[in-house]
Structure 1
């Protein structure tokens, strides 16, 4: 099934919204403070789950425009968070939220 431009726009909007929320959740925090704050950890993980779900539904036309973005990794993280949350390493979540999410947000602005 081919995705429509409309579907892609909605999915990209979901991803952008989630990157914005993650930026708010981690603003001003250190990695230690993030790991100690279960509310922000869980909220960030949820938004990463949303990003992975949306990324997995984007058309190849969209993902092909941003070949440096790890789309498969986002989907893999989504599966991990959804199906094996108990083994989540929050230092990895911190690294993704503080390094990869801003890169994703910037890439989407240039799309």
Structure 2
């Protein structure tokens, strides 16, 4: 974890990109079982990796940013990452689907708020955000909502 909040932008953007992909992969599924078995578990497994990625990058966020946003579920996001990483085959697919359906959309909004406020108050470098916008990696992020 960094102590310099100016370094928080890229991990937050990685989190946002991961969340956007999770929502894309789960779009249109009505049941956890359908999501689990879609394309021989391809979407489910990709989503698990992305959920883990969200948690990994949440751990890179500075303590000062975490303090400014105490309602963000920092501990839960990291905890899910640890559970996926250490008990991959024991993950409850219905729990994962519930998280994707009910907790990822508000998490996306919360990440967007942190980025937008950080850019607005000068804590984050707008040039760094513009460079990310031009990267192929961050192609699922709606940067217009952030800047």
So what's the TM-score if we normalise by structure 1?
A: 0.90
Give 1:2 shift.
Answer: 4.3
Q: Which runs of 5+ in 2 are unaligned?
A: 115-147
- In structure 1, what is the equivalent of residue 66 of structure 2? 63
Q: In the TM superposition, what whole-angstrom CA distance separates every residue of 1:31-57 from its partner, at most 9, and x where no partner exists?
A: 231122211110110000000001112
Inter-partner Cα distance in structure 2 for 1:103 and 1:7: 23
Give 1:93 shift.
Answer: 0.6
Inter-partner Cα distance in structure 2 for 1:36 and 1:108: 29
Q: Secondary structure at the match of 2:55?
A: helix
Shift >3 Å, 4+ stretches:
none
Inter-partner Cα distance in structure 1 for 2:74 and 2:25: 22
Inter-partner Cα distance in structure 1 for 2:6 and 2:36: 37
- In structure 2, what is the equivalent of residue 33 of structure 1? 34
Q: Does 1:43 align with 2:50?
A: no
Inter-partner Cα distance in structure 2 for 1:41 and 1:53: 18
Matched length: 111
Over the aligned positions, Cα root-mean-square deviation in angstroms equals 1.5
Q: Secondary structure at the match of 1:110?
A: helix
Q: In the TM superposition, what whole-angstrom CA distance separates every residue of 1:5-52 from its partner, at most 9, and x where no partner exists?
A: 342111101100001101100111112311222111101100000000
Q: Does 1:20 align with 2:20?
A: yes
Q: Which runs of 5+ in 1 are unaligned?
A: none
Q: Secondary structure at the match of 2:98?
A: helix
Inter-partner Cα distance in structure 2 for 1:48 and 1:2: 21
- In structure 2, what is the equivalent of residue 81 of structure 1? 84
Give 1:73 shift.
Answer: 1.0
Q: In the TM superposition, what whole-angstrom CA distance separates every residue of 1:70-99 from its partner, at most 9, and x where no partner exists?
A: 111111111111111010001111111111
